[in-house]
Amino acid sequence: MIIKDLSLINYKNFDSINLEFDDKINCLVGQNGIGKTNILDSIYHLAFGKSYFNPVTSQNINHDADFFVIEGDFFNGEKNEKIITSFKKGQKKIIKRNGKIYDKISDHIGTIPLVIISPTDRDLILEGSETRRKFMDGVISQGDKIYLNELLKYNKVLSQRNALLKYFAANRTFDQTSLDVYDDQIVGIGQNIFEKRQNFIEKFLPILQARYSEISHSREEISLTYKSQFKEKTGFSEILKSGLKTDLQRQYSNFGTHKDDLIFKIKKHSVKKFGSQGQQKSYLVALKFAQYDFLKSQHGMKPILLLDDIFDKLDEDRVKQIVQMVSKSDLGQMFISDTHPERTEEVVKQNANQYKMINLEA
């Protein structure tokens, strides 16, 4: 998959801009605050129907405007795809594919396979389980619409169950029959989600281990473990019932696949607690390139790769390794953002024959 050109109107700091891209490597350069990351985010927005950095849609509109439009022309190896995402204050967001409006934005997920590597990805290691679940769900959902729909159903039921728990507390009442309606769905849908997540990890782990070895030049043993309450020996229905007292006290559902987590380890030790900065960075880059490989195998096409501000977050050797990997025939189109044009071009020129420099200050 490649994006050939991009047009923005009132998106973040841009009033209007039109850009054409190279099929292989595109380097977005310029001072901080000029909009390099916003260009990358607009491409992400076309793929997922939302911003990677700010999920509040209205906050992605340029100041003094009341709407934005993002338009991109893609080529998937067989045909052209025109994707338009637009939003006006007070109205629903619209995504069009080749002129046809989607009924549900979720139907668009997976059309544009894409991977982004950003400084904010450190949250995958440092923050709580929700961040890691979102990563896992995002990878699976790009290639499995049934899974995405199950996930949306589960979250809706979970929200309804939590609302019922709050109702019980506010009115000092309790109705087991009403609760059972939601519990049955939590267990049924949750079982399907658990099985697909477990199957994903089994396929994903060897890809991750291979990428880590390539990026770090290391023989360190790494692991990725899926942690879920569904792995408990007792049935999940029993776990749900045994936790009812806690749920009623906290007015929140404390048991289910919404509590799942991923455990990252190097040499059998937590990457978060014991990994050096270099090891954490290598693990994160390996995680994203493994995501790339997995999506490529699922879609049968090369995803777009967005690298945001990596020169300031990774040492130059790691950046060179990344560019070398992307320059190989098994990887497709890549975007790099950086504040130093000379540094970027020097590294890219050493490792790639085909690239385009885009200076946003010009």
Tens digits of residue pLDDT in 218-241: 778 899 999 998 887 667 888 888
pLDDT for residue 147: 95
Distance CA 181, CA 185 (A): 7
CATH of domain 1-113+304-362: 3.40.50.300
CA–CA distance from 277 to each of 45, 212, 265, 319 (Å)? 30, 15, 14, 15
pLDDT, tens digit, 9 for 90 and up, residues 102-111:
999 999 999 9
pLDDT for residue 327: 64
Instruction: Report the SS3 class of residue 146.
Output: helix
Q: 193 pLDDT band (50/70/90 cuts)?
A: very high
Q: 330 pLDDT band (50/70/90 cuts)?
A: low
- 284 in Cβ contact with 122 (< 8 Å): yes
**Residue 317 scores a pLDDT above 80:** no
In the chain, which segments carry CATH 3.40.50.300? 1-113+304-362
In degrees and rounded to multiples of 5, residue 175 shows phi and psi of -140, 100
The residue-averaged pLDDT of 25-49 equals: 93
pLDDT, tens digit, 9 for 90 and up, residues 112-127:
999 999 888 899 999 9
Q: 309 pLDDT band (50/70/90 cuts)?
A: confident
Nearest to 50 by CA among 129, 146, 114: 114
CA 234 to chain centroid: 33
More confident residue, 277 or 87: 87
Q: Which residues pair with 75 in a beta bridge?
A: 2, 80
Average pLDDT value over all residues in the chain: 90
In the chain, which segments carry CATH 1.20.1050.90? 125-300
pLDDT for residue 277: 83
> Sign of the C-alpha dihedral, residues 108, 48, 210, 323?
positive
The owner of tokens 């790009």 is: 142
- 153 in Cβ contact with 189 (< 8 Å): yes
Instruction: Report the SS3 class of residue 362.
Output: coil
pLDDT for residue 215: 80
CATH topology assigned to domain 125-300:
Glutathione S-transferase Yfyf (Class Pi); Chain A, domain 2 (1.20.1050)
CA–CA distance from 186 to each of 150, 195, 256 (Å)? 11, 14, 7
**Residue 149 scores a pLDDT above 70:** yes
Nearest to 129 by CA among 256, 239, 266, 289: 256
pLDDT for residue 329: 56
CB under 8 Å to 2, separation ≥6 — which residues? Answer: 21, 23, 74, 75, 304, 332, 333
Query: By mean pLDDT, which of 154-168, 243-257, 340-354 is the weakest?
Result: 340-354
The residue-averaged pLDDT of 46-67 equals: 93
pLDDT for residue 313: 63
**Residue 216 scores a pLDDT above 90:** no
Q: How many CA atoms lie within 13 A of 268 on its CB side?
A: 0
Distance CA 58, CA 362 (A): 28
Could you give the residue ranges of the DSSP H alpha helices within the chain?
A: 36-48, 123-126, 129-143, 145-171, 176-216, 236-242, 244-250, 271-274, 277-299, 310-313, 316-327, 341-351
CB under 8 Å to 194, separation ≥6 — which residues? Answer: 228, 230, 257, 260
Q: Exposed, middle or buried: residue 201 (CB in 10 Å: 0-12, 13-18, 19+)?
A: middle
Distance CA 7, CA 73 (A): 9
Predicted TM-score (pTM) of the model is: 0.90
CB under 8 Å to 224, separation ≥6 — which residues? Answer: 201, 204, 205, 208, 262, 263, 264, 265
Percent of the chain with pLDDT over 70: 95
More confident residue, 317 or 291: 291
pLDDT for residue 119: 85
Tokens representing 139?
A: 């990878």
pLDDT for residue 17: 95
pLDDT for residue 239: 84
Query: By mean pLDDT, which of 86-90, 263-267, 337-341 is the weakest?
Result: 337-341
